[in-house]
């Protein structure tokens, strides 16, 4: 059963929209498809988190929850319902908790392990990684408890029932085409505003831009099929991902700064302290090397044709 769940979340069908969505689709039908895709990814990934230590589980369930939250946020102008607000709150709370487990995996696999592999002669990495693994185990226990709680039962009810209720809302009976185009144009305009002084973005502005990139990417994946321009959509999403990857790495490095707290809270050996310094120094140099790529990726994104026009 676990193998089937893992295969399902890695299956490309969860990454692409069904071909049944097109310019003639009603909003209700389009959003039913989007909610169903996110729901399937969340439920299959939950099983992996509960029964396996595979870091793919927290990663995939967090993506599923992000997709879900993006769909719900996009629904707001069309659906005025207190139930939608409760649904969003549940999804946000689960995303935050699972995000902490995913962050623990990032600290181990993306921040510490690559530096250890580059400097195998440096002692102290095993001690640091053992502490991080211990912290991950504690977060995993919390997340597993949450995924078995009554609150999960509430979320699962929303996941199951909400797609069935969309037909009741009058604004959702309109075709999706114009709504999708307006939504994408607004999101692109917001991203351009954030990137107006791209070369001098503060850490806070980078964080906001990273979130905006993520939102636009999900919306592009959601609504790409509506416009019937598969090649243009794929190219635009690839440009978004190129820039998003740079921002994602910078965010991971910012997260890695938390490793300094180990030196404050734990009595580490001199070797472990040296290993921490080595980790932070290496990523600091990588950041200065990688950031210029962001400017190039941003220009490529700006010049890329917008498939919704």
CATH code, 111: 1.40.20.10
Residue 58 lies in a domain: yes
CA angle, 57 then 63 then 66, to 5°: 140
Residue 309 lies in a domain: no
| pLDDT beyond 90 at 204 | no
| pLDDT beyond 50 at 14 | no
Residue 247 lies in a domain: yes
Residue 272 lies in a domain: yes
| Cβ neighbours, 10 Å, residue 31 | 26
Grade residue 7 by pLDDT with cuts at 50, 70 and 90: low
- Please report the pLDDT score of residue 54 as a whole number: 95
d(CA 110, CA 103): 10
Average pLDDT, integer, range 191-208: 90
Helical segments of the chain, H only = 2-10, 27-51, 56-75, 82-106, 113-118, 125-146, 150-165, 176-194, 203-223, 230-256, 260-265, 270-303
- More confident site: 5 or 141: 141
Q: How many domains does the chain have?
A: 1
Contact 17, 221 (CB under 8 A): yes
Chain centroid to Cα 226, Å, comes to: 23
Grade residue 285 by pLDDT with cuts at 50, 70 and 90: very high
Residue 135 lies in a domain: yes
Residue 211 lies in a domain: yes
Residue 35 lies in a domain: yes
CA distances from 92 to 40, 66, 85, 127, 185 (A): 17, 8, 10, 34, 25
Residue 308 lies in a domain: no
Tokens of residue 165, six digits = 């209720």
Q: Which domain holds residue 177?
A: 2-166+173-303
- Please report the pLDDT score of residue 15 as a whole number: 47
């Amino acid at each position: 059963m676990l193998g089937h769940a893992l295969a399902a979340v890695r299956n490309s069908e969860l990454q692409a929209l069904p071909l049944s969505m097109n310019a003639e689709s009603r909003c209700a039908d389009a959003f039913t498809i989007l909610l169903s895709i996110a729901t399937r990814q969340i439920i299959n990934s939950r099983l992996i988190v509960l029964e396996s230590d595979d870091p793919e589980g927290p990663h995939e369930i967090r993506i599923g929850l992000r997709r879900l939250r993006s769909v719900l946020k996009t629904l707001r102008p069309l659906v005025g319902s207190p139930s939608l607000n409760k649904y969003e709150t549940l999804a946000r709370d689960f995303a935050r908790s699972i995000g902490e487990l995913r962050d623990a995996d990032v600290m181990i696999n993306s921040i510490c392990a690559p530096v250890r592999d580059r400097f195998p002669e440096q002692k102290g990495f095993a001690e640091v990684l053992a502490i991080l693994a211990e912290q991950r185990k504690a977060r995993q226990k919390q997340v597993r408890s949450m995924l078995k709680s009554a609150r999960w039962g509430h979320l699962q009810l929303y996941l199951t029932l909400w797609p069935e209720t969309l037909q009741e809302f009058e604004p959702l009976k309109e075709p999706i085409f114009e709504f999708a185009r307006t939504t994408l144009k607004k999101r692109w305009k917001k991203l351009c505003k954030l990137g107006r002084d791209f070369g001098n973005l503060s850490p806070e502005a980078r964080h906001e831009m990273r979130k905006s990139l993520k939102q636009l990417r999900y919306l592009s994946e959601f609504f790409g099929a509506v416009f019937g321009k598969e090649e243009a959509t794929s190219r635009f999403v690839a440009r978004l991902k190129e820039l998003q990857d740079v921002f994602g790495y910078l965010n991971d490095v910012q997260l890695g700064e938390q490793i300094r707290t180990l030196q404050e809270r734990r009595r580490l050996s001199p070797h472990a302290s040296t290993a921490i310094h080595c980790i932070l120094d290496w990523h600091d140099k990588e950041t200065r090397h990688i950031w210029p790529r962001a400017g190039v990726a941003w220009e490529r994104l700006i010049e890329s044709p917008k498939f919704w026009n």
